[in-house]
Structure 1
Amino acid sequence: MFTLEDRHEEAEVVSLERPELLMFCGLMGLAGCIAPFVTIVWGTAVADHDFIADTISDLARGDHKRIMDVGFYLNASGLLAIAIAAAHAHLGKVGWTLGVFALSFLALVVVLLGLWDEFNDVGGPGTDMTVHTQLTFLLGPLYLIGPLVMAKGAGGISPTYGWLFVASAAIWALFAAAFKLSPDSIDGIVEKIAIGGSFLWTVPLSFLFIARGYEKTHRVTGRRQQS
C-alpha cells in the first residue's frame, strides 16, 4: 500500500517528466513497430519471397535487400526511442531498469542484423553460422526477458499492459522455439508469428508513453486555465 509520502514522491517525479519527449518517443516507437510490417509486405510484393517458407533474413538478402534494411533501421530507431522514454518515465525498480537495457540492446542488435545480412563467411565455407545468424540468437532472451521484467511496472498503470507484456513473452518463447524445430517449408511464417508476438510488448509500451505525455500536457494546460 502506498503511503502519503510515497504519493508525494511519485507526484514530484511525474512533474519532472517532459510530455513532449514521451509523446515523441512513443510515436517513434509506434512507427518503428509498423515499419517492419510495411517493408515485409513491400519486399514480398517486389522480391521472390515465399511468405510461408522464407524468413525475414531471406528477404534481407538479394537485389531488394535495402527494403528490409530500412525496416531493420526504423525498427531499431523505434526501440531506442522507447528505451529513452522508459528511462525518462521510470515506472519500476530493478526490473524496469533491466527492461530499459533490453530495449537498448535490442536496438543495437537489430541495427547489426541489417548491417550483417549478407556477410556469410564467418563460419567458414559450407556453414550457415554467419554473423547475422549469431546475432539472431541474442533476440531470444531479450524479447523474452524485456516484457516480463517490465510487466509489473506497466501493470501499475493498467493491468491490461501487464497481461499484454506477459502474453508477448509467452508467444515469443513458444514460436521462437518452434521456429528452430520447424521444417524449411513453414519456418518463415513461424518466425513472423514470433516477431508479431513481440509487438504485444513494444506497441502497448509506445501507446503508454503517448497517453502519459498527452495526459500530462492537458493536465498542465488545465491548471494554467484555472489560474
Structure 2
Amino acid sequence: MPFATQPRHEEARVVTEERPELLLFCGLCGLLGNIAPLVLMAFATEVAQHDFVSDTVSDLARGPHKWIMDLGFYLNAGGLLALAIAAAHIHLGRMAWSLGIICLSLLALVVVLLGLWDEFHNSAVGPADWTIHTRLTLLLGPLYLAGPLLMAGGIEGVRRSYAVLFVASAVLWIVLATVFKLSPTAYDGIIEKIAIGATLLWTIPLSLFFLGRGWEKSHRLRTAEG
C-alpha cells in the first residue's frame, strides 16, 4: 500500500515514535567521538614529542605517529555522524534544525577527509602553502559557527541552558578561529586547541541530551511493559 494511502494514525505513529536504543547509541557515540580525540591528541603530543603550544592538530597528524591523530579524526567524524542521525530521528525544529543536521553531517565528512588527506598534505593546487588539507580546514569555520546557532532554537524548548551553551560555542569558536588564523606560529597550536574546546559546548550537551532522552524513553517503555 502506498504511503499516501495509509491511515492517518499509522502515518502519525511512523513520524513521531522515538526509539530509545537509537538515541542511547547515538548519544554514546557522540560523547565518545568528542572525548576520545582529546585523549588521543594528548597521547600523540607525548609520543611524538610535539610542542603543545606551538604545534597544531594537523602537525600531530603528520609523521611516523600520524595514525594516532588520524584515529582521532575518524572517531570524531563517527561521533558527529551519530549526532546527525539522532538529531534527524528526534527532530526538534523546522528548517533551522534540519540545516543544523546538515552541518553535523558535513562536519563528519570534512573531518574524515582531513584524516585521509594528511597522507597527501604536501599536495597543493596553486601556492605551496595552499594545500587541499588547508582548504578543508576552512570549511570548519562556517560549519561550527552555523551548526550550534541553527540548533539553539530547537533545543531551547527542551533545555534553555543548552541553548545558551550552543550560542556560546558558536561565538567562542568564530572568535578563537579568527585569532588562530592571525596568530604567530609560536603559539597558534594552543589557540587552536582552545577553539576546538569551544566546539564541545555544542556537541557534548547535544550528546548528553540524546543520552538522557533515550534513557527516559527506555524507562517509560519498561514501565509500560511492566
TM-score, shorter chain, exceeding 0.5: yes
Residue 197 of structure 2 is matched in structure 1 by 196
Cα pair 1:14 1:89 within 8 Å, conserved: no
- 1:126-145 → structure 2 map (5 Å cutoff): 127-145=128-146
Partner SS, residue 50 of structure 2: coil
- The alpha-carbon distance between structure 1 residues 18 and 70, as it changes in their structure 2 partners (threshold 3 A), is same
- The alpha-carbon distance between structure 1 residues 165 and 174, as it changes in their structure 2 partners (threshold 3 A), is same
Residue 3 of structure 2 is matched in structure 1 by none
How many residues matched? 214
- 1:1-227 → structure 2 map (5 Å cutoff): 16-119=17-120, 120-123=122-125, 127-225=128-226
- Letter of the 1:147 partner, please give it: P
- The Cα of 1:121 is off from its aligned counterpart by 2.1
- The Cα of 1:66 is off from its aligned counterpart by 0.2
- The Cα of 1:101 is off from its aligned counterpart by 0.3
TM-score (norm 1): 0.91
State the superposition RMSD in angstroms.
1.5
Residues 114-168 of structure 1: per-residue CA shift (max 9 Å, x gap): 00014212235x7211111100000000000000000011111110110010010
Unaligned runs of 5+ in 2: 1-11
- Letter of the 1:43 partner, please give it: A
Partners of 1:63 and 1:217 in 2: how far apart? 45
Partners of 1:142 and 1:13 in 2: how far apart? 31
Unaligned runs of 5+ in 1: 1-10
- Letter of the 1:90 partner, please give it: H
Residues 92-120 of structure 1: per-residue CA shift (max 9 Å, x gap): 11000000000000000000000001421
Partner SS, residue 116 of structure 1: helix
- Letter of the 2:26 partner, please give it: C
- The alpha-carbon distance between structure 1 residues 96 and 13, as it changes in their structure 2 partners (threshold 3 A), is farther
Residue 8 of structure 1 is matched in structure 2 by none
- The Cα of 1:14 is off from its aligned counterpart by 8.3
